[in-house]
Amino acid sequence: MEHTRIKELLKSEEFGRHVIVKGWVKTFRNNQFVAINDGSSLNNIQAVVDFENTDEALLKRVTTGAAVRVSGVLVESLGKGQHVEIKVDELTILGDSDPEKFPLQPKKHSLEFLREIAHLRFRTGTFNAVFKVRNALAFAVHQFFNERDFVYMHTPIITGSDAEGAGEMFKVTTLDFDNIPRDEEGQIDFKEDFFGKATNLTVSGQLEGELAAMALGNIYTFGPTFRAENSNTTRHLAEFWMIEPEMAFYELEDNMDLAEELLKYVIRYALDHCADEIEFLKSRLLEEEKSKPQNERAELNLVDKLNFVLENNFERVTYTDAIEILKRSKPNQKKQFKYLIDEWGADLQSEHERYLVEKHFKKPVILIDYPREIKSFYMKQNEPDTQGRHTVRAMDILFPGIGEMVGGSQREENLDKLLARMEEVGIPSDEIDWFLDTRRFGTAPHSGFGLGFERLVLFVTGMTNIRDVIPFPRTPNNAEF
């Protein structure tokens, strides 16, 4: 490769050597100072042009966004805030950028505006940092599981099952909408469809993951999942990535330990390997918070918040105890919660989760032993409590500013109990008979969890809208690119 990446040059001490840089123009000042970025670093390198001996027509083409090739000598910079610069021998325009039409000018743009031009937002410092952190977190996830001898399993994106029993799925079909085949009862005849049955985009790789775990021991999936919820919030996407480990012979305590260990590992990896990016995002966040009233500003800056998670053991609390805390809380008693907590059995909302984490315990919380009625059919049932209430061995990990980060459980390994629960919630056993074989042949205690990757990226970057931590967000009425 004839050119050197800017990240390497910015650290170089080899002054006087000839270098070639290729990148995009960020700014061009005084007809001689070109700030160039090639994506390898948040920082630009300055190239100094001898404008008196450079064709004027060429200089007019050095505009923000233009792609250039610069050849010259690396010299020590006398300018403030930069260590090196390039004294240009030759400048070539590789791709012009019309300054009248290019929407990213050298000024601050709002995140809302950048969402409208999401195909260009990678070129900003903020999104350079966000997607470098996302990349590091993804790598760290794989490294974590690889170090612990987990098998990476690719589960199907197109599936005939609904793992959650939620029904909010995107259907997959090749049927002709202008000529839909119907059976004798007037229902759509999916036997005519590509797969010969109704199929959808997966909401989770869990059920297939369990099949592998009951033979290989410890496995994980990491891939896209889809929910057709009409949720226009800052925390929901229709397409998002999930990390889903499944472990044979793990009980709830083991499951919690692994999830906490994973979260701390990947956050530590990001802090160690994306220090510049996280520092940039910390400064961005502090600047943004200046416009907020003092009482609405975060108590900790981004780096301190991440270290706070690393330095504290997660608080482990039963759902029953959490309900009592919430019932007695000031926001509940003063009717400040949107959803008031009156009795045991309530499905906790984000406002309740965040109260427990941010106000009461002031650290990440693992809630366990939820009411059976508000959780999925596959979760292991506890013995009824002294008041005859039925709970399951579920766990949710709650994070400050986010709410639920992880949802998991010990799985119900008892076939009879599982079948009875499926009947209660209306899931036909014949549709997932293959899944029930894991309980028929060599059933064993096993556990797993799902970690929403974008929520993790949201937390580590300090961004406040989930649409800003995935390259091409899929949300209601939005499927651009």
Task: Note whether 332 and 325 are within 8 A (CB).
Answer: no
Sheet with 199-201: list strands edge to edge: 158-159, 199-201, 171-172
b/e map of 302-315 (b: 16 or more CB within 10 Å)?
beebbeebeeeebb
Q: What is the CATH number of domain 123-168+203-468?
A: 3.30.930.10
Task: Note whether 25 and 49 are within 8 A (CB).
Answer: no
Task: Note whether 83 and 77 are within 8 A (CB).
Answer: yes
Distances (CA, A) of 454 to 145, 240, 297, 464: 19, 7, 23, 11
Please state, in angstroms and rounded to a whole number, the distance separating the CA atoms of residues 91 and 47.
Answer: 10
Please state, in angstroms and rounded to a whole number, the distance separating the CA atoms of residues 75 and 25.
Answer: 20
Please state, in angstroms and rounded to a whole number, the distance separating the CA atoms of residues 207 and 435.
Answer: 7
**Nearest Cα to Cα of residue 407 among 164, 230, 234, 53:** 164
Please state, in angstroms and rounded to a whole number, the distance separating the CA atoms of residues 173 and 195.
Answer: 8
Model pLDDT, residue 163: 61
Please state, in angstroms and rounded to a whole number, the distance separating the CA atoms of residues 381 and 388.
Answer: 13
Q: pLDDT 10s digit of each residue in the chain, 481 long?
A: 799 999 999 999 999 999 999 999 999 999 999 999 999 999 999 999 999 999 999 999 999 999 999 999 999 998 777 899 999 999 999 999 999 999 998 888 999 999 999 999 999 999 999 999 999 999 999 999 999 999 999 999 999 876 665 568 999 999 999 999 999 999 999 999 999 999 999 999 999 999 999 999 999 999 999 999 888 888 889 999 999 999 999 999 999 999 999 999 999 999 999 999 999 999 999 998 888 888 778 888 999 999 999 999 999 999 999 999 999 999 999 999 999 999 999 999 989 999 999 999 999 999 999 999 999 999 999 999 989 999 999 999 999 888 899 999 999 999 999 999 999 998 889 889 999 999 999 999 999 999 999 999 999 999 999 999 999 999 999 998 8
Say whether 425 sits in a helix, a strand or coil: helix
Q: At what angle do helices 453-461 and 125-147 cross, to 10 degrees?
A: 120
Question: Which residues, at least 6 apart from 100, have a Cβ–Cβ distance to it below 8 Å?
Answer: none
CA 159, 222, 314, 270 dihedral sign is negative
Instruction: Sort 37 into a burial class: Cβ within 10 Å, 0-12 / 13-18 / 19+.
Output: buried
For domain 6-105, the question of CATH label 2.60.120.620 is answered with: no
Category of 415 on φ-ψ map: left (φ > 0), alpha (ψ -120 to 50) or beta: alpha
Q: Where are the domains of the chain?
A: 6-105, 123-168+203-468
